[in-house]
Structure 1
Amino acid sequence: MNLSSISENLNTEKRIAITPEIAKKYISLGFNLTLPNNYGTHLGFSDEDFKNFGVNLLDNDEEIIKKSDIFIQLGLPNEEKLSLLKGDQTLIGSLNTFLNKDKLESLKSKKVSCFSLELLPRITRAQSMDILSSQANLAGYKAVIEAFQIYERAIPMMMTAAGTVPAAKVLVVGAGVAGLQAIATAKRMGAVVFATDVRMASKEQVESLGGKFLTVEGSENLETEGGYAKEASDEFKKKQEDLLTETLKKIDIIICTALIPGREAPKIIKEEMFKNLQSGSVIYDLAASQGGNTVFTEVNKIVEKNGVKILGEVNILNKLPISASNLYAKNVFNFISNLYDKENKKLNINLEDEIIQKTLVK
């Protein structure tokens, strides 16, 4: 089978879907792998690195797409590239099904099988394929590093002859994969860390990392069967708001990670709360691409409000593209290995397999 990928728009996406290490594994499985020239050169992967493992390199995206049986990308390609796909081809990536319904409907009408990996079920067997977890883990780490870089004070407590520098106090909003990594990173660097989440199951995880979990009185466990956060009641939101309003008086840095799949990000840091934040505080909003967890977040800008700096980037992983590409490529390889019938050398779209059934765009 012919497997391929083409370069993303490097202005918005620096990650790649196939690294040389993973290219070798695809070819070992029996795939014929084709990539464009200079596919990974911006990350330090030369064309020779791919050629040495038997990868075919072409200088024509149209030819690559038309000849492929399986087409792997990070996100959904542009309409010009999508128009080249035809029946019996398979597209695999993070296709953002909630925002791209019309485009995906068009592909389905052409009998193109589309697998969107952000829809993977949270089951043990799918952990090695879980792109959301692998990428969020890196995002949570990098958000802390970026926020600490902007913050104009020391992070750990320092006792000197001239006096004591207090440890920075960090609040992590949302204790999913990104939030837990943010807690661990901030703690390792010497900060005092607080965290809040609508899922009560997060309390034990936060505390195991040395964070202090902010418990809303009368909390209910707002967690879906898939392990994601779900919409909170108005009563819960009010109690959470009151707790945060009081907590913010002592917070220096906030890392926002609260997201609901397919929905606008919940507005957790309201306008009136900014009155309680100290001048010089920093907010890093990882939810910026879905509207942000603060009312003032703007995409790819540093906004200053009442002396507080708010950072929001669409794709923080562009700052860790090599690590992110390595993990993403492994996730996709594991997914394809599960999908591929090695004996008959074809894809086996077995809808009784929960992984395949959940990720196939219907």
Structure 2
Amino acid sequence: MKIGAPTETAEGEARVALTPESAERLQKLGYECLVESGAGAAASITDAAYEAAGVKVLGSASELWSEADVIVKVREPSLAEVDAAPEGKTLISFIWPAANEDLLAKLQAKQMSVLAMDMVPRISRAQKMDALSSMANIAGYRAVVEAGNNFGRFFMGQMTAAGKVPPAKVLVVGAGVAGLAAIGTSV
């Protein structure tokens, strides 16, 4: 079975669904891994790094969608990607089905099997597949880092010979995965 990762088409998306490390683990389980040339560029992963890991680098998205049995993506595919995709593929990606009825209809028309990673329940048995919580954890951490960058003075309190700088006061709204990560980072 061939697993392929195309270049993400969403604007500003720097993540990639398949890294050389994850590809090596999949290959040990007997899968063949494919990536579109440049798929990892925004994440600072070169085609050479994929090739060194035994991943086949393909020249175009259409070539990848044709050759792979399973397509892995971070963000949901665009309607244009689905239109260009061959029928009967398996797609593993964030899909947001409640907000993407048109996308679901196109995927169904193309007879695609879809695993919506955003719909994996947050239970112990599914914890290894809970990509949504992992991304929320990173978002909470990054929110505090970005806020600290824009704050304009020391985030942590400072005591110097010239005086005392009080620490920043941080308000985190929400106590979900992202909120708890933000609280932990800001303390």
Query: TM-score when scaled to structure 1?
Result: 0.49
Please tell me the residue identity of whatever aligns with 1:147: A
Provide Cα deviations, 1:40-69, integer angstroms capped at 9, x if missing partner: 233332222211232111112112102221
SS in 2 for 1:169: coil
Structure-to-structure mapping, 1:159-308, within 5 angstroms: 159-187=159-187
CA spacing shift, 1:175–1:18, aligned 2, 3 Å: same
> Residue 21 of structure 2 aligns with which residue?
21
Instruction: Give the distance between the partners of 1:130 and 1:117, measured in 2 at CA.
Output: 7
Q: Distance in 2 between matches of 1:44 and 1:66?
A: 26
Instruction: Answer yes or no: is the 8 Å Cα contact 1:86–1:111 preserved in 2.
Output: no
- Tell me which amino acid in the other structure corresponds to 1:26: L
Unmatched tracts of structure 2, length 5 or more: none
Where structure 1 has 5 or more consecutive residues not aligned to the other structure, the ranges are 188-362
Quick one: distance in 2 between partners of 1:143 and 1:78? Answer: 27
What is the count of residue pairs matched by the alignment?
A: 187
Q: Tell me how far 1:14 sits from its aligned partner.
A: 0.8
Task: Give me the whole-angstrom Cα distance separating, in 1, the residues matched to 2:162 and 2:2.
Answer: 67
Provide the alpha-carbon RMSD of the alignment.
Answer: 1.7
One-letter amino acid of the counterpart of residue 176, structure 1:
G
Does 2:44 match 1:44?
yes
1:90 is aligned to 90
CA contact 1:36–1:61 (8 Å) conserved in 2? yes
Per the TM alignment, residue 38 of structure 1 is displaced from its structure 2 partner at its CA by 2.3
Q: Aligned letter for 1:37?
A: S
Deviation at 1:166, TM superposition (A): 1.9
The residue type equivalent to 1:174 in the other structure is G
Deviates more, 1:139-148 or 1:26-35: 26-35
Secondary structure at the aligned position of 1:171 is classed as coil
Which structure: greater helix fraction? 2
- 2:135 matched to which residue of 1? 135
Partner Cα separation in structure 2 for residue 2 and residue 160 of structure 1: 60
Amino acid paired to 1:173: V
Offset of residue 170 of structure 1: 0.9
Q: State the TM-score, normalizing by the size of structure 2.
A: 0.91
Residue 155 of structure 2 is matched in structure 1 by 155
Distance 1:40 1:168 in 2: 37
Aligned mates of 1:32, 1:160 — CA distance in 2: 58
Change (3 A) 1:164 1:23: same
Runs of 4+ in structure 1 off by over 6 angstroms are none
Amino acid at match of 2:38: N
Q: Percent of counterpart pairs with the same letter? A: 39
Distance in 2 (alpha carbons) for counterparts of 1:158 and 1:2: 55
Which residue number corresponds to residue 67 of structure 1?
67
Greater C-alpha radius of gyration? 1
